[in-house]
Amino acid sequence: MASSSPATCSLLNIASRAASTVSSAASAYTSRVRLMPCYTTTTFKGVGLRGGSLLPFPCSSPTRVFFSVRSPIWKSFSSSTSSVATDKEALDSSMDDVQRRLMFEDECILVDEKDHVIGHDSKYNCHLMEKIESENLLHRAFSIFLFNSKYELLLQQRSATKVTFPEVWTNTCCSHPLYRDSELIEENFLGVKNAAQRKLFDELGIPAEGLPTDKFIPLGRILYKAPSDGKWGEHELDYLLFIVVDVKLNPNPDEVADVKYVNRDQLRELLRKADAGEDGIKLSPWFKLVADNFLFKWWDHVEEGTLQEAADMKTIHKL
């Protein structure tokens, strides 16, 4: 890069040197790292890659050069950390581009059975039954139950492209806080609430300003394990968040196939049909557990405006 002008650096040279550096690193350290190909948007800024992995190609210009590319890169992980997906798994043809990106870019929060943070791992690894069984991977999650002013519960049907439990009906929104500062905040469960805001916008198009974090009421936590098919499954410590608010919906078809509000009687009928196998209706296992154990008695508190009285965040219910 010594030939770079004092005003700028060649973007093509930066990209070439970056690729060369990553390739050399892969060859030099195969004995102690495993490599995973994934698709990501990478931003080059002068001397480094976004995410903290610095590359040794200094720019002679004081001007910070940056650009973004959507391309496959190699991410390396130390063999001392939890193992990662193989090349074959990384290129899993069963996933569409959106789900593949989420599987490899999202880092879930690993916890023990007392909900203490013990690390992080990719969403991909956290949902492989092989990893769940062999390494007992347990990650933090949340399930949102959003009621309108008529005290009807908003349900969603998961899209057909979801990796786990596609096309099943479930509560309003179910996802994971990620391993990032804003979603690791323990005080007042703010990290989980921030994640809930993020995913309600991602999945249902509800802007954060319509969902103040102090409106989310955590009522409890459950710990459960559920296989989805032979390959995928869930092992989650799940925060149950309730909120009463009227919202406008703009569902994301990559995440959501359908939505509907139900009252108590309509939900009971849905549960009956799912149990009987009628109309092809299936429910997510976590929603079924909450419905069978907690939901209807908590619904009383929704209507009476006494949700805080029902909250028990000290107990982790193993179901």
Query: Using one digit for the tens of pLDDT, what is the confidence trace for 277-319?
Result: 999 999 999 999 999 999 999 999 999 999 999 999 999 999 9
Other CB atoms within 10 A of residue 118 CB: 9
Q: How far is CA 1 from CA 17, 57, 66, 68, in A?
A: 9, 7, 15, 19
What positions carry a catalytic annotation? 174, 239
Residue 3 has pLDDT above 70, yes or no: no
Of the given ranges (73-82, 135-144, 263-272), which has the lowest mean pLDDT? 73-82
Residue 131 has pLDDT above 90, yes or no: yes
Query: Looking at residues 163-169, what average pLDDT do you find?
Result: 91
- Tell me what pLDDT residue 172 has: 98
Identify which has the larger pLDDT, 186 or 16.
186
Q: Is residue 239 very low, low, confident or very high in pLDDT (cuts 50, 70, 90)? A: very high
pLDDT digits (tens, 9 = 90+) for 199-238: 999 999 999 999 999 999 999 999 999 988 878 999 999 9
Residue 112 has pLDDT above 90, yes or no: yes
Residue 15 has pLDDT above 50, yes or no: no
Q: Is the pTM of this model over 0.75?
A: no
| 127 CB-side CA count, 13 A | 23
- Tell me what pLDDT residue 91 has: 46
Residue 85 has pLDDT above 60, yes or no: no
- Tell me what pLDDT residue 101 has: 63
Q: Is residue 105 very low, low, confident or very high in pLDDT (cuts 50, 70, 90)? A: confident
CA distance 106 to 184: 14
- Tell me what pLDDT residue 7 has: 41
CA distance 75 to 87: 11
Query: Looking at residues 148-162, what average pLDDT do you find?
Result: 96
Residue 8 has pLDDT above 90, yes or no: no
CA dihedral 228, 169, 239, 264 (to 10 degrees): -140
Other CB atoms within 10 A of residue 127 CB: 23
Identify the CA nearest to 308 among candidates 218, 236, 227, 183. Answer: 218
* Mean of all residue pLDDT scores within the chain: 78
